[in-house]
Amino acid sequence: MSDIEALKKAVPPFQIFDLIPQYAEQGFIDPERIDLLKWAGVYPQRPQEDGFLMMRVRVPAAEFSSATMREVANIAEEYGRGFLDVTDRQAFQFHWLTIQDIPRIFERLEPLGLHPKGACGDTVRAVIASPLAGLDAREIIDVRPLAHAMEGTLTGNPDFQDLPRKFKMSITAVPELEGIHMINDIGFLAHRVNGEVGFDVWVGGGLGAVAHLSKRLGVFIRPEEVVEVGQAITAAYRDHGYRQNRKKSRLKFLIKDLGVEKFREIVENDYLGRKLTDGPAAPTARFGGNDVLGVNPQADGLNYVVVATTVGRIDPTKARALADLADRYGKGVLRTTAFQNMVIPHVATEDVEALSAELAAIELAPKATIRGTTIACTGNQFCRLALTETKARTADLVDHLEPLTLAMDVPFTINLTGCSNACTRYQVADLGFMGANKTDKDGTVHEVFNVHLAGSIGQAHRTGTKLKGAVPAEQLNAYAEAVLAEFQANKHVGESFVEYADRIGHEHFAPDAVLGAREAVTA
């Protein structure tokens, strides 16, 4: 039994909420129980010996008020040195916290309907809800009530506080626009079959060092069955998932070994007590690996505006300004997305131009550019596992590339992560960069990035090809620019990068080949 499994058996993980006030009062954390902090959304920050903490906070159904945005900004300013991130699971993340701060932050979050319980740890994480729910005219059903129901019965439920590893869920009613289900343990996709609204269910997605895309369970379930089926699948994983080797503890490995048909059988026979209805696949998103960007029409004649944050980092001043704009031009409501962006819904058409101008003034203009399709993890600025710097480097990459890509007729996705753990999904991007270290003979350590090319959680449904060689960190901009320049110069109209890379050949984009050709041209 691993150390964390032994700890979970000795102390029920959600008991950490009873221990945190004690740790805050004494000013230090029991080192033998520090891993339990994850169940409260809290991690030691790099360097751990300094004692600072980072915290993730769930946003139920991805929707919150402008007043909540202001209070979140205030918390970041008062306790976190002004650092505020929007994560790729629609959560907020704070940095530079101390254990003495945590109880006070909990008290301030509670009235907002936000909570860190289950934001991390071996439990059901935040349920990703479509940021388009209740807005887009193409929507089949408003999934927000179901997302809230799942949050209330799965996330934070003591029955699921001790799973073999983390467990992620998503729900959408616009599957032709979103593909996030491909990398979650459970994904619910609404569609119509013979005029009836129901859900296609996918299971076993997950990235990390060994990536698996999810597989269809092969069923069609009614909306009123969603929470029950979610509970049954989660319980089956809890009871049958692997616990001896944490590297193989995710649901994806159980599905791989059992097969999806056998897993469905277990869920039906042992947890539901009935057979599920067979059903066809829901529609597939061509570009499922990014947000629907820019200004978009709502079903009610208003508009929702997607705000690109630049790799998820937004300082408190801008966050409060965004809240003010949501009050002035929307209905005082905002949303977070699974691609580190934010949404202002309910904007009248006659106000779109004025809102866009005010957003541009605070560098949050709703442009449908690479700024909105590029994400980056926390990196070695704060994360103990990361090998490379990510946020600032990727923000610089976006600034460098954006002017060169304004005329592109298809979205182009760049995902950059600081290690193999895939917190920002490097295996399923057009260009996926995974941080690593390279040591010279003299012992000098250099930051480099491995390249995973032409992955997709859209129609291609595949992980990217890991190319030979690596890109030195200082040449990241040059490499990405060269790839994009060639793509734009030689692609067919409407051709995606996945399609172009398949036509040209993936090894054509190997780092040494691309950078070598660039150096030759420059010379």
Residue 505: what pLDDT?
98
The string of pLDDT tens digits covering residues 10-58 is: 999 999 999 999 999 999 999 999 999 999 999 999 999 999 999 999 9
Average pLDDT over residues 210-214: 97
Residue 519: what pLDDT?
72
Residue 339: what pLDDT?
97
Cβ-proximal residues to 478 (8 Å cutoff; 6+ apart), any chain: 515, 518
Residue 521: what pLDDT?
66
Query: Where are any strands of DSSP class E within 238-349?
Result: 294-297, 303-307, 333-336, 342-347
Average pLDDT over residues 95-105: 98
- The answer to whether the CB of 73 falls within 8 A of the CB of 319 is yes
Average pLDDT over residues 262-281: 98
Instruction: Give the confidence band of 365 by pLDDT, cuts at 50, 70, 90.
Output: confident
CA-to-CA separations, 459 to 46, 109, 286, 288, 496, in angstroms, rounded: 38, 39, 5, 7, 11
Average pLDDT over residues 453-481: 97
Task: Using alpha carbons, select from 177, 156, 165 the residue that is nearest to residue 113.
Answer: 156
Residue 23: what pLDDT?
98
Question: Which segment of 17-21, 105-109, 366-370, 517-521 scores lowest on mean pLDDT?
Answer: 517-521
Instruction: Give the confidence band of 2 by pLDDT, cuts at 50, 70, 90.
Output: confident
Q: Is 493 exposed, middle or buried (0-12, 13-18, 19+ CB in 10 A)?
A: exposed
347: which strand partners? 303
Residue 197 backbone class (left: φ over 0; alpha: ψ -120 to 50; beta: rest): beta
The string of pLDDT tens digits covering residues 294-329 is: 999 999 999 999 999 999 999 999 999 999 999 999
3-class DSSP assignment, residue 379: helix
- Stated as kind and residue range, the H or E segment containing 254 is helix 251-258
Q: Give the separation between CA 431 and CA 477, rounded to whole angstroms.
A: 12
- Sign, CA dihedral 114-116-120-122, equals negative
Place of tokens 């002004």: 82
The string of pLDDT tens digits covering residues 134-148 is: 999 999 999 999 999
Residue 518: what pLDDT?
73
The answer to whether residue 520 scores a pLDDT higher than 70 is no
Instruction: Give the confidence band of 281 by pLDDT, cuts at 50, 70, 90.
Output: very high
Q: Give the separation between CA 240 and CA 362, rounded to whole angstroms.
A: 50
Average pLDDT over residues 51-78: 98
The string of pLDDT tens digits covering residues 108-134 is: 999 999 999 999 999 999 999 999 999
Instruction: Give the confidence band of 375 by pLDDT, cuts at 50, 70, 90.
Output: very high
The answer to whether residue 523 scores a pLDDT higher than 70 is no
Q: Is 361 exposed, middle or buried (0-12, 13-18, 19+ CB in 10 A)?
A: exposed
The string of pLDDT tens digits covering residues 418-432 is: 999 999 999 999 999
Q: Give the separation between CA 48 and CA 306, rounded to whole angstroms.
A: 36
Q: State residue 295 phi and psi, 5-degree precision.
A: -100, 130
Task: Using alpha carbons, select from 416, 433, 414, 422 the residue that is nearest to residue 376.
Answer: 416
Residue 127: what pLDDT?
96
DSSP per position, 115-181: B-TTSSSSSEEEEEE-TTTTTBTT-SS--HHHHHHHHHHTTT-GGGSS-SS-EEEEEES-TTT--GG
Locate 306 and state its tokens. Answer: 């997607």
Go through 398-422 and write b for each residue having 16 or more CB atoms within 10 A of its CB, e for each that does not.
beebbeebeebebbbbbbbbbbbbb
Q: State residue 301 phi and psi, 5-degree precision.
A: 95, -10
Place of tokens 């040209």: 504
pTM flag (> 0.85): yes
Percent with pLDDT over 90 in the chain: 97
CA-to-CA separations, 54 to 36, 415, 468, in angstroms, rounded: 14, 22, 35
